[in-house]
Amino acid sequence: MKDLMIDKKTVLTAYRNGELREKQLLKQLFGAEVFNAKITDRIKTFEDALEETGRPDVPEFSDVPEDLRPYFQEQYKAIVVTEALNEGWQADYNDGNQKKWLPWLKSTPSGFAFHAAHYAFSTPHAGHAARLCLKSDELAAYVGKQFTDIHAGIIKK
C-alpha cells in the first residue's frame, strides 16, 4: 500500500472551508485536537499568517512611487494578518448591527503601543481600512499587542 502525505495547512484549510460532515470526517482521521487550537496560538508572526492564508510574501509594489512603497508593504502585512486571524470571517457592511473590531494604537515617547480594541457597527471611520476589521475584541487586542510594529509601520510610513 502506498502512503499518502498531506501537510497540516492543507488539512486546516479543508476543515475551515468544509461542511459539517467533512469536518467530522477530518476530526476522525486526524484527531479533534488538531482543529481545536486557537488561532492566536497558531498565528504569532507575519510568516505564520502567510502560511495560514497561502498568500505570497510582501510584493515589492514596484509600480508605486518609491517613497510610498513602505506604506503599502506594511498595509499588505496587516491585511494578511487580519485575514489569517479572522479564519474566513469577513465584515458585512450591509449589516449595521455587526460589530467590526479594530486595534487602537496610541503614540508613546518610545513609539506606538496598543491602547484598546475599538468597534463600529457600520462602515469604518475615516482612516480605518475595512480589510483590517476583526471579528472580535479579543482578536483586535491580540493584533494590537502582537503586531504593533506592523500597524505602527502603516501610521509612520
24, 55: one domain? no
Q: Are 12 and 49 in the same domain?
A: no
Residues 77 and 140 occupy one common structural domain: yes
Contacts of 93 (CB under 8 A, 6+ apart): 122, 123, 130
**Same domain for 136 and 68:** yes
What total number of domains does the chain contain? 2
Q: In this predicted structure, what is the pLDDT of residue 124?
A: 46
Find the domain containing 61 and state its range.
37-156
CB 118 within 8 A of CB 124: no
Instruction: Assess whether 96 and 137 both reside in one domain.
Output: yes
Same domain for 92 and 30? no
Element at 118 (helix H, strand E): strand 111-120
Most confidently modeled range among 6-10, 14-18, 57-61, 108-112: 57-61
pTM listed for this prediction = 0.75
Domain co-membership, 79 together with 151: yes
Grid cell for residue 15: 476543515
Give pLDDT tens digits for 100-132: 888 877 766 666 566 555 565 444 444 456 788
Q: pLDDT tens digits, residue range 21-77? A: 999 999 999 998 888 789 999 899 999 999 888 899 999 999 999 999 999 999 999
Instruction: Write the CA distances from 136 to 15, 35, 63, 71, 89, integer angstroms.
Output: 21, 20, 35, 25, 10
**Please, is 92 exposed, middle or buried when counting C-beta atoms within 10 Å of its C-beta (0-12, 13-18, 19+)?**
exposed
What gap in Å lies between CA 27 and CA 15, rounded to an integer? 9
In a shared domain, residues 3 and 17: yes
Burial of residue 35, with CB atoms counted within 10 A of its CB: 0-12 exposed, 13-18 middle, 19 or more buried: middle
